[in-house]
Amino acid sequence: MAPWRNYLLDSKMAAPNHSGRFVTVGPDDADIVRGLRAGDRDAWGALCQKYGERLWRFVARLVGSDEDVVADVFQETLMAVAKSGRAIRSDTTLWPWLSRIGHNQAALSWRKRYRDRPAGDGAMDSLTSADGDPVASLTRMETVESVRALLSEMNADHVALLTAKYLDGLTVPQILDVFGGTTESVRSSLARARRDFRERYDRLRVKQ
């Protein structure tokens, strides 16, 4: 059984997925949103089935590979989702909404765990890839705590876009399917996210 299934608020709410990939079948987002707004238990199950694995992986990108830590943040995220489900807007696109909540919970966890630690020992220097782009090297350095420090302070939507593009390897059309919008808006948002990351990276290097 995939680890994330052990930490659902109700383990009966998600049927097994043997594909090894993110679950994308079942009710569409609009149906799930309507159900959440109505307090429908089946909608919660559909949400977990469709996005549980992706949410677990997203949280793990931000807090590390320690399953206990990931599980804590994952459960805190699900509790926050459950509390706000009835208030969700009818036009909400689910993954951006979920990733914002997950990012907020991961940031709280990171700050609690590392707020008293020194800024770093120069590890951020290794984030610079051969072409001088720190964002492009996220695929190699996703476990560096300094990266998590940056991501925890960034705009949640920017973090979701960067992880989708550089860690999950999604193309712009695939990101468009997940986040909605237009090709131009996705490219523009990615550019802003990259610029935000680079500026924070540069400031951290100056501090070091």
pLDDT tens profile 86-111:
899 999 999 999 999 999 898 888 77
Residues of the chain with CATH 1.10.1740.10: 1-116
By the 10 Å C-beta count (0-12 exposed, 13-18 middle, 19+ buried), 208 is classed as middle
pLDDT band at residue 138 under the 50/70/90 scheme: low
pLDDT above 70 as % of the chain:
70
Q: pLDDT: is 187 or 169 the higher one?
A: 187
- H or E stretch at 189: helix 183-207
Is pLDDT at 115 greater than 60 in this prediction? no
Nearest to 204 by CA among 127, 143, 124, 107: 124
Nearest to 89 by CA among 4, 29, 21: 29
pLDDT one-digit tens code per residue, 64-84: 878 898 999 999 999 999 899
Per-residue pLDDT, 38: 92
Contact 198, 166 (CB under 8 A): no
Lowest mean pLDDT among 11-15, 23-27, 161-165: 11-15
Q: Look up the CATH number of domain 1-116.
A: 1.10.1740.10
Per-residue pLDDT, 139: 47
Number of other residues whose CB lies within 10 A of the CB of residue 98: 23
Model-level pTM? 0.66
Rounded to whole angstroms, the Cα distance separating 161 from 88 reads 21
In the CATH hierarchy, which fold is given to the domain comprising 119-208?
Answer: Arc Repressor Mutant, subunit A (1.10.10)
Ramachandran angles phi, psi of 133, nearest 5°: -110, 105
pLDDT one-digit tens code per residue, 15-36: 333 333 334 446 789 999 999 9
Rounded to whole angstroms, the Cα distance separating 4 from 48 reads 10
DSSP code per residue over 57-72? HHHHHHH-S-HHHHHH
Is pLDDT at 5 greater than 50 in this prediction? yes
Residues of the chain with CATH 1.10.10: 119-208
Rounded to whole angstroms, the Cα distance separating 101 from 82 reads 11
pLDDT band at residue 130 under the 50/70/90 scheme: very low
How high does pLDDT run on average in the chain?
77
Number of other residues whose CB lies within 10 A of the CB of residue 40: 15
